[in-house]
Amino acid sequence: MKLFEYEAKEIIRKYGIETPKGVVVREGDDIRKAIESSGLTPPLAVKAQVLVAGRGKAGGIKLVNNVDEAVSVSQQLFKTPIKGIKPSILLIEQAIKHDAELYAGIVLDRAERKPLVLVSKYGGMDLEEVAREHPEAIIKYYVDPYKGLRNYEARILGKQLGLTGKALSSFENFLQALYRAFMDYDAELAESNPLALLPDKVLPLDLRIIIDDNSLFRHTEYAATEKERLGELSEREIAAREKDLAYVELDGDVGVIGNGAGLTMTTMDLVYEFGMKPADFLDVGGGAEAEHIRDAVEFVMSDPKVKKVFINIFGGITRADEVARGIVMALKDLGNKAKPLVVRLTGTNEEQGREILKEVGITPYSDPLEALQALKNL
Amino acid sequence: MGIIVDENTKVIVQGITGREGSFHTRLMLQYGTKVVAGVTPGKGGTTVEGVPVYDTMDEAVKAHPDANTSIIFVPAKFAADAVFEAIDAGIKTIVVITEHIPIHDAMAFVNYAKEKGSIIIGPNCPGIINPGKTKVGIMPANVFTPGPVGVMSRSGTLTYEVSYFLSKAGLGQSTVIGVGGDPITGLTFPEVAEMFERDPQTKAIVMVGEIGGDAEERVAKMVKEGKIRKPIVAFIAGRTAPEGKRMGHAGAIIMLGTGAYKDKVAALEDAGVRVAITPYEIPKLVSEALKRA
C-alpha cells in the first residue's frame, strides 16, 4: 500500500526528522484559513496528494508566491486530474531554497534477501532515469538485517555523497530514521527524492513509503483508509478488490480466469498467441472455494466488453470440484446474462469436477491448447 | 537421486489440524511420504490420519528424532513464528506453503535459516517432489513421473502444467521444486540450478520463470560462466503483462527497470539457453536438449 506524502512525512517526524513546515487541506476546507492559522509564509509549494509516479512532471506540484495564489491554485488542483486521478487532499508546504538535491532510498533486495540502501547525488530525477544516464552515480549498500543500519555506515554513505560537517551528521540521522521507519512499517520502499541539501542540514522535500500489503494486519491505521488510496486502479479494479479478487483490467474482449499468477499470466499470453485479446487478468489464487469462483465468473461476465470467457484451472491446492461448483452457481445466478464459456479443468478432484460441469452441459477440456482453439472458434 | 528430499525424508506437518494441513497430510501419506508427526498448538495428544499431533516442534522432534523436514500450513500471521520454531528445533529442510506472509518476516527467517544451516523452500510455493519417492507439498501427484528432468518454478500451477506435459511426452522428472512467487524466497533459481548441476540423476533443467526480479538473469550468467553445464530450457510467464501492475502475487511486477520479459529472454538467449514461447513447447525443447547432451 502506497502512503500519501503527508503520511510518510508524519512517520519520519516520529523519528525526530524535520520536514518542511506544511498543512494538509481537503476538498471543501477553508484553504486561506488553513494557511494563515498554520503560520506558513510564502513562497509555498502546493502539492496534490495522488499516488502516481511522476506527479511533479504531470503538473501536480505548483509553486506560488502569495496566499491568494495558493488558494486559487489549490482550487484548481482539486479539479485537475493528475494522470487520470483527481486529488482530494493537498499538502501546502513552505518552499525551501536549497543548494542541491540528493536521493536516498531503501528497498528489499530479492537476490541478497536484505535491505538495500540506494543513495545518489542525482536527486530530483526518477531513479530509473539516473540508473540509465548515470549508473555510476547510484551508490548501493546492503544492510545486515540483524545488525541494522549503524551510524557509521550512514556516515560512510554521506561521505561518498561529498557531505561534511553538520550536513553530514544531519544526513546520518535522516538515513537512520528512514531505515528504522522502513523496518518498523514493513516497507517495500522508503525514499526521499529529492532530499534537499542545505548548508547545515538535509531536508526531505518529498517522501514516499510503500507498505507491504501482506503486513497490513500490523498497520491497521492505514488498512482502515484503504479506499482513499485506490487512485491507480480502475473502477472495476476497485470493485474487484472489494470482492477480494486479484484482478487487473485489460482492454481486450476475452475474460481470463486462472488459478495461480503464473498460469493466469500464461493464459493471458496464450490468448494473445491465438490472436485474441484478454479483457482482464483474474487469478482466483490457491485453494479457492466455490463461492470465490462464483464471484470471479460473475465479475468477469458482468464486464460489458467481455464477449467470451476462458477459465484455465490446474488444481493443486485448488480442487476442481469446488471450481466446477462455483461455475455452475455463477451460470445459474447470471441466467441469460451468462456469456459463452470455455473451461479447461484438470488436477486435484478432476473427475468430480467434470461430472458437475457435465450436468449443466459443459464439457471441460484437459488440453489447454485444444481449449484455446475451441475458444477461438466460439 | 534427485535433490533435497528422498524416500528417507521424515516429515513433520506444522498446522496439521487445519483444512489444508489435514487434507494434504492425507495426500502425502497416500503418495508414500513418511509423515511422522504434526504440530498444532493446543491440539497436542490428538491424531490426524493416524499421525500424532504435538503442541510444539520441540516435543515433536524429541518424540521423532529422525524427523529432518517440515512443511508449514500455518496462516500468514503466525507462519514466521512456525518457521523460526522449526529452525530452532533443528529441522534442516522447511517447506513453507503459506501465501501472503509479510516480506519482512520472510527476510528475517530466510536470513536466520541461512545462519543456522537450514534450507527454506518458499514461502508461497507448492513444495517439492521426487517422483516415485516422496512428495513434500500440495501438488497433484499424478502428473509427475520419475526421470531425468529437474524442474524449478516460481509458479505453482505452471509447475503442474509443465510436469504434466513432460510426463505425457515420456520425460520424467528427477525433482520438481516450486521456489515460490514472493519477492523474497528461501531457495532461489541459482541455488537450485547448482544442486541440479551436481545431481547425477538430473540430465536437463527446466526453469519456469516469470516477470519481476532477476533470478532468471542470474541463472543465465551462471550458464555463461560455465557454472551450469547441463542443458536448460526456460519459459517466462507474463510476456503480455502491463508494466507496473501487480499480477496476482507480490513477485510478478516489473519495477525499477528490472524484471521485464524481454530482458530476461535476452539474457537467457545470450547465454545459449533455449526459451519456449509457450509452456507446451518445453517437452520438445527438452527432448532436443537431451539428444544433444
Going A252 to A255 to A260 to A262, the CA torsion angle's sign is negative
Topology (CATH level 3) of domain B139-291: Rossmann fold (3.40.50)
CA distances from B213 to A68, B157, B221, B255 (A): 48, 19, 14, 8
Range A208-235 average pLDDT: 82
A108/B126 touch (CB, cutoff 8 Å), yes or no: no
Residue A129 is predicted with a pLDDT of 80
| pLDDT tens column, B234-275 | 999 989 887 766 665 544 444 555 678 999 999 999 999 999
| pLDDT tens column, A10-49 | 999 999 999 999 999 998 999 999 999 999 999 999 999 9
Q: Which residues of B are catalytic?
A: 249
Tell me the pLDDT of chain A averaged across its residues.
Answer: 92
B102/A264 touch (CB, cutoff 8 Å), yes or no: no
Q: What's this model's pTM, rounded to 2 decimal places? A: 0.91
Residue type, B119: I
Residue A78 is predicted with a pLDDT of 93
Q: Does A42 touch chain B (CB under 8 A)?
A: no
| Helix locations, A4-135, DSSP H | 5-14, 31-38, 67-79, 127-133
Whether B139-291 and B10-121 are alike in CATH topology: the answer is yes
Closest partner residue to B214 among A111, A146, A285, by Cβ? A111
Range B213-237 average pLDDT: 95
pLDDT-wise least confident of A63-72, A284-293, B129-138: A284-293
Q: Is the peptide bond before A194 cis (omega within 30 degrees of 0)?
A: yes
> From CA B11, how far away is CA A175, in angstroms rounded?
44
Catalytic annotation, pick one of A6, A7, A93, A103: A103
Range B200-228 average pLDDT: 95
Q: Does A212 touch chain B (CB under 8 A)?
A: yes
Residue A317 is predicted with a pLDDT of 78
| Helix locations, A96-217, DSSP H | 127-133, 151-160, 165-184
Closest partner residue to A316 among B101, B157, B279, by Cβ? B157
B85 annotated to bind ligand: no
Residue B115 is predicted with a pLDDT of 95
Match 507446451 to its residue by C-alpha cell.
B280
CA distances from B48 to A292, B18, B23, B174 (A): 28, 10, 10, 30
pLDDT band for position A51 (cuts 50, 70, 90) = confident
A111/B188 touch (CB, cutoff 8 Å), yes or no: yes
pLDDT at B92 over 80: yes
Instruction: Please name which of B18, B13, B118 lies closest in space to residue B75, comparing C-alpha atoms.
Output: B18
Active-site residue, A179 included: no
B249/A283 touch (CB, cutoff 8 Å), yes or no: yes
A265/B215 touch (CB, cutoff 8 Å), yes or no: no
CA distance B214 to chain A (A): 8
pLDDT at A378 over 70: yes
Range A360-375 average pLDDT: 94
| pLDDT tens column, B42-54 | 999 999 999 999 9
pLDDT at A224 over 80: no
Residue A61 is predicted with a pLDDT of 94
Class of domain B10-121: alpha beta
The three-state (H, E, C) secondary structure of chain B, written as one string: CCCCCCCCCEEEEECCCCHHHHHHHHHHHHHCCEEEEEECCCCCCCEECCEEEECCHHHHHHHCCCCCEEEECCCHHHHHHHHHHHHHCCCCEEEECCCCCCHHHHHHHHHHHHHHCCEEECCCCCEEEECCCEEEECCCHHHCCEEEEEEEECCHHHHHHHHHHHHHCCCCEEEEEECCCCCCCCCCHHHHHHHHHHCCCCCEEEEEEECCCCHHHHHHHHHHCCCCCCCEEEEEECCCCCCCCCCCCCCCCCECCECCHHHHHHHHHHCCCEEECCHHHHHHHHHHHHHHC
A213/B103 touch (CB, cutoff 8 Å), yes or no: no
| pLDDT tens column, A66-125 | 999 999 999 999 998 887 788 889 999 999 999 899 999 999 988 889 999 999 999 988
Nearest CA in chain A to B98: A286
> Looking at chain B, how many residues does it have?
293
* Percent over 90 (pLDDT), chain B: 86
Helix, coil or strand: residue A241? helix
Closest partner residue to A248 among B20, B211, B245, by Cβ? B245
Residue B250 is predicted with a pLDDT of 46
Set of chain A residues whose Cβ sits within 8 Å of the Cβ of B210 = 261-262, 265
CA distances from B189 to A27, A111, B150 (A): 50, 10, 12
Q: Is A94 exposed, middle or buried (0-12, 13-18, 19+ CB in 10 A)?
A: middle
Helix, coil or strand: residue A71? helix
What b/e sequence results for B176-189 when a residue is b if at least 16 CB atoms lie within 10 Å of its CB, and e otherwise?
bbbbbbbbbbbbbb
What is the CA A277 to chain-centroid distance, rounded?
Answer: 25
Set of chain B residues whose Cβ sits within 8 Å of the Cβ of A108 = 103-104, 107, 183-184
pLDDT band for position A232 (cuts 50, 70, 90) = low
Question: Could you tell me which residue, A232 or A149, shows the higher pLDDT?
Answer: A149
Range B200-216 average pLDDT: 94
pLDDT at A287 over 80: no
B140/A316 touch (CB, cutoff 8 Å), yes or no: yes
Residue A250 is predicted with a pLDDT of 92
Active-site residue, A18 included: no
Range A240-256 average pLDDT: 91
A186/B104 touch (CB, cutoff 8 Å), yes or no: yes
Residue B244 is predicted with a pLDDT of 66
DSSP result, A102-134: EEEEEEEETTTTEEEEEEES-TTS-HHHHHHH-
Range B210-232 average pLDDT: 94
* Percent over 70 (pLDDT), chain B: 95
Question: Could you tell me which residue, B186 or B156, shows the higher pLDDT?
Answer: B186
B292 annotated to bind ligand: no
Set of chain A residues whose Cβ sits within 8 Å of the Cβ of B158 = 260, 262-263, 266
| A342 close to A308: Cβ distance less than 8 angstroms | yes
ipTM of the assembly?
0.88
How many CB pairs lie under 8 A apart between chains A and B? 166
Contacts of A270 (CB under 8 A, 6+ apart): A368, A372, B278
| pLDDT tens column, B12-69 | 999 999 999 999 999 999 999 999 999 999 999 999 999 999 999 999 999 999 999 9
| A195 close to A101: Cβ distance less than 8 angstroms | yes
B7 annotated to bind ligand: no
Domain locations in chain B as residue ranges: 10-121, 139-291
Q: Is the peptide bond before A43 cis (omega within 30 degrees of 0)?
A: yes
pLDDT band for position A256 (cuts 50, 70, 90) = very high
Question: Could you tell me which residue, B256 or B212, shows the higher pLDDT?
Answer: B212
Nearest CA in chain A to B23: A317
Set of chain B residues whose Cβ sits within 8 Å of the Cβ of A128 = 256-257
Within a 10 A sphere around the Cβ of B58, how many other Cβ atoms?
Answer: 14
Could you say which residues from 240 to 299 on chain A have a Cβ atom under 8 Å away from some Cβ of chain B? 246, 248, 250, 258-266, 268-270, 272-273, 278, 281, 283, 285-287
Nearest CA in chain A to B162: A263
> From CA B268, how far away is CA B221, in angstroms rounded?
8
B99 annotated to bind ligand: yes
Closest partner residue to A265 among B138, B210, B278, by Cβ? B210
A263/B155 touch (CB, cutoff 8 Å), yes or no: yes
Residue B247 is predicted with a pLDDT of 65
A213/B277 touch (CB, cutoff 8 Å), yes or no: no
> From CA B75, how far away is CA B73, in angstroms rounded?
7
pLDDT-wise least confident of A78-82, A356-360, B286-290: A78-82
